[in-house]
Chain A
């Protein structure tokens, strides 16, 4: 069963067509990757799913429910979680407060009980705190930095805190925008392991945009390839990898071999 379905999504900015007629389905319990060269429309696609861009055509369905006209906060409360390409943590807050914000949609405290901090508000804070400690911090191994301000953390840990924040939401589907960009090998391996565990232990469906082909091929169950705003190939990683259209899109004239051949030809 598909958790998330995109039907004929088209999005244009003025004369530029960022997405044209994109159909894409994310099966429940999979890790699905969207890949494509720079400017292929991957981040635009994510922003359409999150609700930051409204497509001119097409529908976004979460578990069969049409999200197309809903605003981002409403989509979040229906179970759509995401992280950003450039870390988008709340820099003025500690790790703990950032992750607690992930649980915002699952909490009910209103402004009056918040200010008096009586029974219900106090219990809810303690309950969420305990859940975060037990499930999120323990899982992502960040309990030792819970009181640290996020701005002071190294890059890899910040990425991990962002994942923690998204998990605290307990989303039905988790969208990761370049989860390992800019990481060293060790950090990448950690993150890949966490993403696999998110699928297997938490049972959360993952949709990710990623440039690191090694990681995409290793952990994805399905891959969709986007080029010039269109899906040019879909399937299992091994199949997509061999697709000539994909090789063409990715390497094109920038292909190292063809480049080398051309250079050799010129010098000869």
Chain B
């Protein structure tokens, strides 16, 4: 139940976690993130790292598509730009990994700004097509700019190193990627407490009103593209380090659709939605694989039958969300919270 939440100052009322209960939950979440590596095996740590990278990327796309209303299907290609920046620096410069990551974010932001230019003229589906074009152009660059990307042969990346510790395994990589993920998510959450984030939502909800309130649509749309690309750049750079090698096939259009699906399933326009969506989209196939492994002793030729079933179930789950929970997983969470606000006095 929510009690004792009376505020004495507006600063307190504007806080990210406004009640003590929320602080307790956040602390519990952080504690479980810290404890997780000690109770888990390499396989789950590997998934946790992948989920973290996807959370960063999905949060970025959510800022652009969920909050600002600019549909982008180029998000994976932007991750690719970040990944290739890290790869090139790793192979050609002796810079430390955090500088490489920042450079990846910077380069991707610049590319995202250019790719966002069509948004000044077109909206909706047309913008989606324009971003697909950007995605194909970047793909073409990845394949053909051989002196930098080594073309289809791909490029290897040495694992990052902090203070003599080589992060070449999920159990060490976890300690780098999870803090970055937490910070990136908090930064995004802060953004929507201020005028910049509100301007993004205003553009999504009613761009004409936004402009009579003094919000410059071109400036804020490009800013949204820049921020989303920054997130994609960080996520792409981490992805390159995590995978150890990348090639043009690592960032297909399908991966952009994966992130779009993640924010739709999770809940567009909520920070929690990007997180839950990325977790769902990354882990569901793995959970289904567990199911398949359990079922396989009872079925002839399990590989031939069950792997398509797994894909179909995954697809059906996504369609089910669109139909029955169009506001996504975040809405389910909100309902649960609302229920407990008044519990146990009224249900």
Contacts and interface: CB of A to CB of B under 8 A. Distances in A.
A130 interface: yes
B193 interface: yes
A90 B202 contact: yes
A115 B187 contact: yes
Interface stretch (B97-105, B208-216, B235-243): B208-216
Nearest to A114: B194
Contacts of A82: 212
A262 interface: no
Contact of B9 (A97, A101, A126, A165): A126
B79 interface: no
Contacts of B227: 111
A126 B193 CA distance: 11
Interface string B209-250: 111111111000001000100000000000000000000000
Interface string B138-172: 00000000000000000000000000000000000
Nearest to B269: A92
A73 to B, nearest CB: 5
Given A84-B209, A92-B269, A104 B190 contact: no
Contact of A114 (B14, B197, B208, B213): B197
Task: Say whether chain B's binding surface is mostly helix, strand, loop, or mixed.
Answer: helix
A193 interface: no
B299 interface: no
A111 B196 CA distance: 6
Nearest to A105: B214
Given A72-B211, A129-B10, A89 B194 contact: no
B11 interface: yes
A10 interface: no
Interface string A132-176: 010000000000000000000000000000000100010000000
Interface of A is mostly: helix
Given A90-B201, A126-B10, A133-B10, A101 B191 contact: no
A129 B14 contact: yes
B205 A90 contact: yes
Contacts of B310: none
Interface size class of A (residues with CB under 8 A): 35 or more
A169 B210 CA distance: 12
A253 interface: no
A77 B101 CA distance: 38
B195 interface: yes
B209 A90 contact: yes
B67 to A, nearest CB: 9
Contacts of B194: 109, 114, 117, 121, 125
Residue in B188, B196, B197, B269 with the greatest tally of chain A CB atoms within 10 Å: B196
A129 to B, nearest CB: 4
User: Interface centre among A80, A100, A101, by most B CB within 10 Å?
Assistant: A101
B218 to A, nearest CB: 9
B196 to A, nearest CB: 4
Tell me which of B9, B193, B199, B217 has the highest count of chain A C-beta atoms within 10 A of its own C-beta.
B193
A126 B196 contact: no
Contact of A105 (B190, B204, B213, B217): B213
A212 B212 CA distance: 25
Nearest to B223: A111
A74 B217 CA distance: 11
B209 A114 contact: no
A133 B13 CA distance: 12
B212 A72 contact: yes
A109 B214 CA distance: 14
A73 B223 CA distance: 16
A97 B198 contact: yes
Contact of B209 (A88, A92, A97, A125): A88
Contacts of A100: 195, 198
B206 interface: yes
Nearest to A103: B195
A126 B11 contact: yes
Contacts of B191: 111, 114-115
Nearest to A129: B10
Given A90-B202, A101-B198, A104-B199, A114 B214 contact: no
A72 B198 CA distance: 18
A102 interface: yes
A169 B197 CA distance: 18
Contacts of B215: 73, 101, 104
Given A116-B187, A129-B14, A92 B204 contact: yes
Nearest to B211: A72
A93 B9 contact: no
Nearest to B12: A126
22 contacts: A73-B213, A73-B217, A88-B208, A89-B206, A90-B201, A90-B209, A93-B202, A97-B198, A101-B198, A101-B215, A109-B194, A110-B196, A111-B196, A111-B223, A111-B227, A114-B194, A115-B187, A115-B191, A121-B194, A125-B194, A126-B9, A126-B14
Given A89-B209, A126-B11, A129-B10, 12 more contacts: A50-B212, A73-B216, A76-B211, A76-B213, A88-B206, A91-B205, A92-B205, A104-B195, A109-B194, A117-B190, A122-B14, A133-B10
